[in-house]
């Protein structure tokens, strides 16, 4: 069964350092997302990406964050200068199959997450 894969599973970084979280979405999906979950809190939407551009972003997704689809398979989240409060579990997700139509709410498939610890 196709799945979303994320690497690394756990990353420790020093405050102020740049970090890149990597995701390989399901190959024929059209929409890609990043969510995060701070320990003990809700899963929060960060950004969605479609047709090689950001389609929606939350207020959390400030100038420190960026996303990229550098090739046909990877989808990355970069945090430019990490802060202690960026420590969280980051989930990548993908959805949307060609031909399904834009007016059908489709299932989002999630990766296992990357636990980011900023020290």
Partner 1 sequence: GDSVTQMEGPVTLSEEAFLTINCTYTATGYPSLFWYVQYPGEGLQLLLKATKADDKGSNKGFEATYRKETTSFHLEKGSVQVSDSAVYFCALSAPITSGSRLTFGEGTQLTVNP
Stretch that binds partner 1, among 13-21, 27-35, 69-77, 80-88 (CB under 8 A): 27-35
Q: Is 14 in the site for partner 1 (CB under 8 A)?
A: no
How far is Cα of residue 75 from the mean position of the Cα atoms in its chain?
7
Stretch that binds partner 1, among 19-27, 35-43, 61-69, 73-81 (CB under 8 A): 35-43
Q: How far apart are CA 26 and CA 110, in angstroms?
A: 10
Q: Is 103 in the site for partner 1 (CB under 8 A)?
A: yes
DSSP track, 20-68: EEEEE--TT--EEEEEEE-TTS-EEEEEEEETTEEEEE-TT--TTEEEE
Residues binding partner 1 (CB under 8 A): 4, 6, 30-31, 33, 35, 41-45, 48, 50, 55-56, 58, 91, 93, 95-96, 100-113
């Amino acid at each position: 069964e196709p799945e979303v894969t994320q690497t690394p599973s756990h990353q420790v970084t020093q405050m102020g350092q740049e970090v890149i979280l990597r995701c390989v979405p399901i190959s024929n999906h059209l929409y890609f997302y990043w969510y995060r979950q701070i320990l003990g809190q809700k899963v929060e939407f960060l950004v969605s990406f479609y047709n090689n551009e950001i389609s929606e972003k939350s207020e959390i997704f400030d100038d420190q964050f960026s996303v990229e689809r550098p090739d046909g398979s990877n989808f990355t989240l970069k945090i430019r200068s990490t802060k202690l409060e960026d420590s969280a579990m980051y989930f990548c997700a993908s959805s949307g199959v060609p031909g399904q139509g834009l007016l059908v709410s489709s299932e989002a498939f999630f990766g296992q997450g990357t636990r980011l610890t900023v020290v």
